[in-house]
Amino acid sequence: MAAESGRSQLAPSTVYRFVMGVDSEPTVMAQSQLDSLADPMGVLLRQGKFPLTVHDLLAEVDAAGMLPLQRSYLAGEAGQIPLTETGSLQRDLRFAVTRARAANADLLISTSAVGDPAAMFLQVMGWDETAGQFNYYMRLDHTWVWAGDSYSALAPESRGQGCFDSHVNGSLVMKEFKQPWLHWQSMNATILLAPDDPLRDNPLYQSLSGAEDFELTVRAGVSRWTAARLKHAVTPDGRVADLDRLLRQLCTTTTVNLASSVTASSAVVRSPATPLTLPLGLWLNVDSLLDDLGLPARFVPPSVPGQLYLDSLVRYDFALVEGEFRRPGDAFFAFVVPEAAFEDIEVVNQLVRRKMISAHFAASVLMVDFPNPVFSPARGKLLAYVPTAATLDPAGGVSQQVADVIVEAAGSLSADSPEAQFAANWRLADADWRDVFVDRIQNYMNAVTARIGTDQGFDDYVRLAESRRREFKSSRLNEFTLTLPVTNIPPDAPLLQLNEDGTIRQKPANQP
Amino acid sequence: MVISRFDPPGGLTDLDETGLEQWSAFISAGVDAAIAGRTDHTNDAPRAQFYNLTKTDTAEDATSQDISWIAFPRQVKVSSVSDRQRWTRADSSRDLQDEYCEWSVTRRPDGKITRVTFTCEGPEYWQLLAQTQPDTLLELYQQHVDPAVQHGDLFDASGSYIPRNNRNSGTTNGAMHLIQAANTLSAEIELVAAASNVRLIDGRELTGEQELIDCGRYGAPQRNSDPHIGGVVNSIARLKADLALSNPVGLYIDDLSTAGWDTPNGSDAKSYWTYVRGDDGHPVRAVYEVPAELEFVVGDIVIDGNPIEFGAQIADFISIKAIAVACRFGQSTVAPMTACVGDIEGLAAAFSATQLRSRLI
């Protein structure tokens, strides 16, 4: 590896730093910085412990007497493909391992579940309670490299670089975050292994927990980092630094989670008359609007006759493809789509809870182009009006200040501009805005429900979902070829968006 | 090794010697019936890889396998559009709490939750207690539900136990044992046995949890529990092993995760979780309650920033488990079923009626 990359071999038992975008190559970490690493991994390294496999690392954690509670989890994009069909396919199974003192995990390990543990990737996140951040580490050659901390993910020079291409906002990552946790071993799916697979003898496999438990850990970890980040962002006199970095998680899609139906695609094949309920995240940001902001909208989750779904798989030639491997059909669970990421949702939730923005302000932004909960250029445009810093006022944090700028801009723009839509939302009286937004959501969902059972309507939604998957595939978060199915829709086909009347439209070509 | 008898769920010590023998006989008969399979079905019988621990040897290579799932009812979750909606619904009726875990919520006059009680005890055990030791049953209600419970609250005029009595039928007035129609030990035994049939359909071995339950027609496909129990059991059977439900046969509380929970005084939220029935590794009843000497109650604890306003919020973090034991790996010669389960016309209704009749009577 070292020779291939053109760099020299790292010295063993030496802590290096290598923050992509900041450092041009690994350099030995200065003692003063090493002394500041207070997370569990940093503590081990400071004690001169350099475990080079996951089992050695866990043994060192045991020996240190810290973090006694261990959980392990398993994921793999090919994990549900029957072994009789995989042929030479690399199954690429991965462990996530957590260690905790109590409820919240302080050490998180990601490593390959196959191959030589001394040669396969080994990455670690450690929570530093004092600094209020995660530190990121990777084993390189025969030693450990500090790859940055949570704030490195936010800094322009290192944002999106190295490990922060997936840890986009400096937190934990679990792409398939909700039930049925596509690609994870869970209470909904068991990853298939041959009877003689050596993984069966691995203690981490023998003690596996389901993804339903890892979701809780990730949720808590994201919340913990978000809380620390927001606390750190406000000075004692109420000045908020990097406000634009915070509100980009309200206005834009910094990353996504992958949602799917809870129904296995094979189950639809067996029972085509059974309705297939599509993931709610396809339609709107339910978590922010209904859960966190508490809009009491009521509707029945839209579903489609299974046969329509099956017809669409044939029409668009759905398949899982990697190299020479091709398996016709959808992913293991039906109808996978990108949805609003929990790490964005949680920032908005905590901004509101800490009164840094008002619920009305957050809802006024989120209700702009709300049928497109991800990849919305309209909402993204509003970020341009957010200053880099502002001072909180007791009434609504920074809401009024930012809203005033947008409303002023709206005065010279058309009524359908994002600015004007926001202004209309913002002008609603405190006593009215919730009811108005609930009506709009319910009318929209009624329109979707009316269309989804028709051939044309469902076909539109199949193509919309594929369009959103293509947008996801263009991101660095798309690490594995088998994450999503492919179709015969050309990669350069126009991207699509949903309208509030349940119809779809082409996304303007010049809008990301 | 062949065990001498089946123990009560969680190693409970309520039964006298007669009751212990009757309980073992009940479980053994249920296991035997499940091995025999459903005679009203095609492609379902026998379940030759499922065995009776009191009659068939458990070999040296035996390993046990916990099978766990989340207590919050999946059917409520997938038909709701917001957390508040699903929590409200799940807290409204025990009939909706169908993941082998039911709960009852106690509130202060101002509405704040002070205590939530969770049970995963099957109703069959309580039927036996009622028949053999009614006084013990009453004492248990008085100990765990309310000291004021009277005999007449639990038994009808003829002396028959009322499982859905006023102190065990709602979500606010006590939960002594499971009452939801599908939450029975008999159902657990039947589905594990039925899931032990390997299915080779059109030359393809079925491996997915949903396709297996659809094909094998065991349990309820829309629950978290049944497809998962069946899926794991079938994965063991595919290793050509014999399998059983571990002794003591039962449904157990696996754990409570408190990741993301915060208490007003910074204490460990897990410290207020207490198992009150069942032995180590087999708890069947748990209470979440803050000691009275502390100046806050359950409703003051927050989960992911939200105060606990529903018992269902806690159920999101509870896992329930069944425990299987398997042995003779690689040795089973049972041929896979090459078709899915079907009905034998005219027999289904008769079988249902038989199933509904308590085997304890």
pLDDT tens digit sequence for B234-269: 999 999 999 999 999 999 999 999 999 999 999 999
ipTM: 0.94
Q: Which long-range contacts (CB under 8 A, 24 or more apart) does B199-203 make?
A: B199/B234, B199/B336, B199/B337, B199/B338, B199/B340, B200/B336, B200/B337, B200/B338, B201/B338, B201/B339, B201/B340
Report chain A residues whose CB lies below 8 A from the CB of B208: 80, 189, 264, 266-267, 332
pLDDT given for residue B49 in this prediction? 98
Instruction: Please tell me the predicted confidence (pLDDT) of residue B272.
Output: 98
Query: pLDDT digit string (tens) for A170-201?
Result: 999 999 999 999 999 999 999 999 999 999 99
Q: Lowest mean pLDDT of A318-322, A451-455, B289-293, B340-344, name the range.
A: B340-344
- Tens digits of residue pLDDT in A149-160: 999 999 999 999
Which tokens in the block code for residue B101? 């875990």
CA distance B360 to B129: 10
- CB within 8 Å: A192 and B74: no
Indicate whether B350 pLDDT > 90: no
Contact residues on chain B for A84, CB-CB shorter than 8 A: 204-205
- Determine the pLDDT at residue A320: 96
Provide CB contacts within 8 A for B353, sequence distance 6+. none
Q: Is the pLDDT score of A285 beyond 70?
A: yes
Confidence (pLDDT) at B359? 42
Cis-peptide, bond into residue B46, ω within 30° of zero: yes
| Mean per-residue pLDDT, B267-273 | 97
> What does the pLDDT read at residue B353?
38
Q: B253 vs chain A: nearest CA distance in angstroms? A: 14
Confidence of residue A250 (pLDDT cuts 50, 70, 90): very high
Instruction: Tell me the pLDDT tens digit for each residue of B334-346.
Output: 999 999 999 887 6
B215 touches chain A (CB under 8 A): yes
pLDDT reading at B217 higher than 60:
yes
B78 touches chain A (CB under 8 A): yes
Can you give the pLDDT at residue A15? 98
pLDDT of residue A6: 66
Is the minimum CB–CB distance between B263 and chain A shorter than 8 Å?
Answer: no
To the nearest whole percent, how much of chain A has pLDDT over 70? 98
The CA distance from A57 to A63, in Å, is: 10
Q: What is the pLDDT of residues B109-125, one digit of tens each?
A: 999 999 999 999 999 99
- What pLDDT shows up at residue A216? 97
Please tell me the pTM assigned to this model. 0.95
Interface membership of B21 toward A (CB under 8 Å): no
Straight-line distance from the first to the last Cα atom of chain B, in angstroms, rounded to the nearest whole number: 30
Give pLDDT, residue A269: 78
Distance from the Cα of residue B250 to its chain's centroid: 7
Asked if residue A104 has pLDDT above 70, the reply is: yes
| Mean pLDDT score of chain A | 95
Band (pLDDT 50/70/90 cuts) for residue A87 is confident
What is the pLDDT at residue B361? 34
Mean pLDDT (whole number) for A127-144: 97
pLDDT band at B357 (very low <50, low <70, confident <90, very high): very low
Q: Do B260 and A294 touch (CB under 8 A)?
A: no
CB contact under 8 A, B259 and A80: no
Per-residue confidence (pLDDT) for residue A77, from 0 to 100: 95
| pLDDT, tens only, B33-48 | 999 999 889 999 999 9
Identify the pLDDT of residue A5: 57
CA-wise closest residue to B80 among A308, A296, A43:
A296
